[in-house]
Amino acid sequence: MDDGRLLESWKEIAAYLKRSEKTCRRWEVTLGLPVHRLDGTPSARVFAHPKEIDRWLAEKRHLTEAPPQESGKKSKWIWLTAGGVIVFIALAGFGWRFIPNKPVPAPPRVPSLAVLPFENKTGDGTWDAWKTALPDLITIDLRQSKFLDVMKTSDLYWAVGQMVEKESFSPEDLKTVGEEGELDFALTGSLNKSGTEVILSVLVHNTRTGDVVGSFRSVCRTEMDIFSGVDRLSNEVKLALNVKDREIRGDIDHPVSRISTNSPQAFKLFSQGYRIQGKRVFDEAISPILKAVEIDPKFGLAHRILFHCCRAVSRKEDAIKYGESAVRFAGRIGDRERELFLSDFYASNQFDRLDKKKLVQAFQRLAKNYPFDPTMIGLVGFYISQEEWEKAVPILEKLILRYPQRPNVVYDLASCYRSTGEYGKAEKLLDDYLSANPELGTDTLMILWERWRVGLAQQKFDVAHDCADRVISAFPNLPNYLVRKGYAYFKQDDLSNAEKNYQKLVENRDKKVQTSGFDYLAEVSLSRGRIEEAKQRVRRGIEMAQSLKDIWWERHYHYFLAYLERLSGRLPEALKEAELACQNSESEGVGLVRELHLRALITLELNRFEEFEKQVEEIKAYLDPDRFPRGSPRFMRIYYHLLGHRELQKNNYDLAIRYFWKALDLLSLLAAQSIDADHAKYFYDIAEAYRRSGNLGGAAAMYAKVRLPTVSREYSGDLYAKSYYWAGTYWERAIGNIGTPADARDRRLKAIEFYRKFLELWKDADPIFKPEVEDAKKRLAGLEAE
């Protein structure tokens, strides 16, 4: 009989089977003995459930029986055969019940529900703790199911607040719970007394209609009976919610005492602390859960919540201790909750437990049985941070089937579609959501933001402006959409209108908004070639950031000023600003790499080669994918880009081009946002290497990529403008190439177009750019005169 205990080593498994450890290990490989590992790796500690082993033995019964002896007696063989036939016929009617159930995959759409507090009608105050502990126990049990979407108690607090602590619920209350929690059903119940017995009564309500779709009872003589009572009720609830019998048989459904505790007192204490942490009062939640662990030291779920609470209140050593113990007792945590915990634990960079491989493995195991669990969005976030959008898409396409109106799922999927170039899919997904949710709110703003980005990527500027205008008309004082309105003009090269919108930011009464405004205005100045004007605006931004003690903005402005000083040929001043940008980092993280990159470039241009080499190796170590949660092998493009500049400085053009291509191979053309901010430099610098090596065709192709709509260029407007100048010179030189007179005319028109565009952008550029501007004017005049 399965009593909820666990076999936690090969020794215990072997003793249970009455075989040697060696035989049991062999059976695992050759016959599929159901042995589990805590994190799925071969070296991890093993555990097994007696119930699963018993089921396996029933299937492999020949393992426990001695091989038949050959007697040579035909009559005995006949009798044995006849007896076997009789037994087979006798078992045929009901033997199917003992065949192991085949797993049934989770469907996209399943009933969603929450378990609400019970009423204590026993008149006995000793049962009061079960008013909330019992719903928590039922929730833990039902959350194992692949065929239900059961809201965690902590999420229920987040969705409906203090209503979750009511003892009785009116039809209006249940409707509110359904609407706020996006739930189809709610489960309520009561504890009643009949003589010496306590009766658990459960009602399942349709939150939309208010109808009761199921009513069940389970009798308990003592608190110990509650665990088996919950196991019985859980199957009744599934049937009431139209889960098919075949699905129930193929569901994951360990006894609730196994995946929590078999101690009533320990569970009541756990529930008390669990609900406190659900209110986000983490420090107060620790004490009762610690008492639960004292009663049942192997209470894995309690160790998990202790890890979460201690981490939330920055008790690092305790968080590590309880996290490790939760890993050790992970066999006492339900399949879904175990993988959710392990993915969280192995993402804990602040506790030196970051293990990206194990993190992904935990999510993959979760996806095997629970592909529609909303927490899979965590793996999506990981893949997006790694710039592996194509891996995130199939996960999100599953989630969207179950949660078509969840804005974070819609937003992430649309963002991944955009980043993989599937603009049509992104458009439809976003437009469908906006049609179904016409009222502007926090969620709609997020979707409009992504719709704006998709429009810009396609150069559908009317769509981008419409998204911005919709928000501005409803929220005229919302600065973010003034930025987006201005940026749409910026990407259209309508710098005058971009500047008008950005100017409204520095006129805003909010000083933080003013601080950001100088950044955007400086970007416009840079794109016009007005470097000194850009410097003035950046210095104003530094003053504002310092007055607000805003370290992030101050660091950013020092970076921007370093870029501008380098552009104007003041390398010592540029290096000084770059050093300030690096020193003012609040904490280490991949976001600092942009500053380190610029500092290394300036150091190289100052011919400090030894210092440059040290800085490059520092950046290489800094980009180690295993060092940061958001670290990615793709970020090594920054390292190769610097090596390309080193060779370009030495006029080793072929080697420079090879390094630049290594960098480009790790760069996405479609996703504009990344830690290195601007991607224009990657294409411009390899174009320069091609041009200086004499490969003008290769240069022209790379200059053209600088101007792609998906390539960001906020802080490299000079490169964008000069790409038109060099494109003009390429087509001018190509005029006389072989071909028909019509071909020559087309080349001349291209050259004229690019020179005009360059001069349009830099007609009022600073004197430092006079040589390029005057040359473009002279060449344009000559072409137009022909």
DSSP string, 376-388: GHHHHHHHHHTT-
Q: Does 63 map to a domain?
A: yes
Q: Is 422 found in the same domain as 558?
A: yes
Q: Is 421 found in the same domain as 355?
A: no
Q: Does 651 map to a domain?
A: no
At 270, which amino acid appears?
F
Asked if the model's pLDDT at residue 162 lies above 50, the reply is yes
Q: What mean pLDDT is predicted for residues 92-110?
A: 63
Contact yes or no for 205/174 (Cβ under 8 A): yes
Mean pLDDT in the chain?
87
Asked if the model's pLDDT at residue 711 lies above 80, the reply is yes
Please state the domain count of the chain.
5
Q: Is 583 found in the same domain as 495?
A: yes
From 552, 483, 554, select the one nearest 523 (Cα to Cα): 483
Which of 242, 259, 276 delimits the end of a domain?
A: 259
Q: What mean pLDDT is predicted for residues 390-404?
A: 94
Secondary structure E strands in 221-320 = none
In this predicted model, what pLDDT tens digit does every residue of 141-159 receive, in sequence order?
999 999 999 999 888 888 8
Q: Does 584 map to a domain?
A: yes
In this predicted model, what pLDDT tens digit does every residue of 653-662 receive, in sequence order?
999 999 999 9
Asked if the model's pLDDT at residue 702 lies above 90, the reply is yes
Q: Is 309 found in the same domain as 197?
A: no
Contact yes or no for 719/706 (Cβ under 8 A): yes
Q: Does 382 map to a domain?
A: no
CATH number of the CATH domain containing 183? 3.40.50.10070
CATH number of the CATH domain containing 540? 1.25.40.10
Which of 100, 126, 147 delimits the end of a domain?
A: 100
In this predicted model, what pLDDT tens digit does every residue of 333-348 receive, in sequence order?
999 999 999 999 988 7
Asked if the model's pLDDT at residue 703 lies above 70, the reply is yes
Structure tokens at 195: 């003589």
Q: Is 238 found in the same domain as 125?
A: yes
Q: Which of 20-29, 282-291, 348-357, 375-384 has the lowest mean pLDDT?
A: 348-357
Q: Is 434 found in the same domain as 554?
A: yes
Q: Is 276 found in the same domain as 225?
A: no
Range of the domain at 272: 266-373
Q: At what angle do helices 637-649 and 609-622 cross, to 10 degrees?
A: 170
- Angstrom distance (rounded) from CA 352 to CA 625: 14
The H or E element spanning position 88 is helix 74-92
Q: Is 147 found in the same domain as 14?
A: no
Asked if the model's pLDDT at residue 748 lies above 70, the reply is yes
Q: Does 632 map to a domain?
A: no
Asked if the model's pLDDT at residue 400 lies above 60, the reply is yes
Which of 31, 66, 100 delimits the end of a domain?
A: 100
Asked if the model's pLDDT at residue 32 lies above 50, the reply is yes
From 392, 393, 390, 397, select the one nearest 372 (Cα to Cα): 397
Asked if the model's pLDDT at residue 741 lies above 80, the reply is yes
Q: Is 484 found in the same domain as 585?
A: yes
Q: Which of 351-355, 666-670, 722-726 has the lowest mean pLDDT?
A: 351-355
Structure tokens at 277: 């942490």
Q: Is 315 found in the same domain as 202?
A: no
Q: What mean pLDDT is predicted for residues 695-699?
A: 94
Other CB atoms within 10 Å distance of the CB of residue 12: 16
Contact yes or no for 226/134 (Cβ under 8 A): yes
Q: Does 283 map to a domain?
A: yes
Q: Is 128 found in the same domain as 70?
A: no
Asked if the model's pLDDT at residue 538 lies above 70, the reply is yes
Contact yes or no for 123/262 (Cβ under 8 A): no
Asked if the model's pLDDT at residue 80 lies above 50, the reply is no
Q: Measured on CA atoms in the order 84, 90, 91, 92, is the torsion positive or negative?
A: positive
Q: Does 599 map to a domain?
A: yes
Which is higher by pLDDT, 161 or 343?
A: 343
Q: Is 351 found in the same domain as 403?
A: no
Q: Does 107 map to a domain?
A: no
